[in-house]
Amino acid sequence: MSDDLHARSGLPEAYRYLLADLPRERWHGQEVAAMARFWLQMHSGFRREVAHMDALTGRWRAGQLALPDLHRQLIPTLQQFLQHLDGHHNIETHHYFPTMRKVEPRIGAGIDLLDRDHDVIHGHLDSLFQTGLAFHQGVSGNAPTAGDSAARLAEAIDKAGPALARHLDDEEDIVVPLITKHVDHFKG
Ligand SMILES: [Fe+2]
Ligand SMILES: [Fe+2]
């Protein structure tokens, strides 16, 4: 399906009507509800964590970072990223998305799309967890295959990053104007 997270290049037209009322050029400052600004900050945090992990694996691949240093720097960031993102998706899927469906029924299919994105991203989080664990165990046990494990983790990061970036952008295009429009339902 062309709406799939891996296939699409932006939020489909049918779900962009909220964004039309509050385009991204106006997302700075008081025009956007406080809760929506908080949402954007959370997403910025995820983008920073991915960029940091990309930079580390990039330096390791270029021979500028030794395997133990990659391990020491990458694993805590990865753990934090997995925890944050899992918690964020849970609260979206189980708390905010149902509220959004209620206050803005017209966007229902758009929320379905975001929920499907979460399922796809959870597959990525699983492989990040599994390859991260294998890398950690390999380094801790001085396994000769630790470098291969690092390469598999780096590949998992390569795959997860673009999918997450697409989801974050498209989700923002729905939730930032939606929260601002229905601000009374999204206090605190
Ligand atoms: Fe999300
Ligand atoms: Fe989100």
pLDDT in tens, 102-139: 999 999 999 999 999 999 999 999 999 999 999 999 99
What is the distance in A from the centroid of ligand 2 to the CA of 140?
34
C-alpha of residue 28 to centroid of ligand 2, in Å: 18
Q: Is the dihedral of CA 97, 124, 15, 43 positive or negative?
A: positive
* Proximal ligand: closest to the CA of 179: 2
Closest alpha carbon to 86 in 152, 3, 8, 164: 164
Task: Dump pLDDT digits (tens) for 49-87.
Answer: 999 999 999 999 999 999 999 999 999 999 999 999 999
C-alpha distances in Å from residue 27, one per residue of 21, 30, 105, 184: 11, 8, 23, 18
Rounded Cα distance, 126 and 5, in Å: 17
Which pLDDT tens digit goes with each residue over 144-184?
Answer: 999 999 999 999 999 999 999 999 999 999 999 999 999 99
Tokens of 5: 């997270």
Q: What is the pLDDT of residues 15-61, one digit of tens each?
A: 999 999 999 999 988 899 999 999 999 999 999 999 999 999 999 99
Amino acid in the structure at residue 175: V
Domains of the chain, residue spans: 69-86+125-183
- The alpha carbon of 139 and the centre of ligand 1 are apart by a number of angstroms equal to 33
Query: In the structure encoding, which two tokens stand for residue 98, read together?
Result: 């149902």
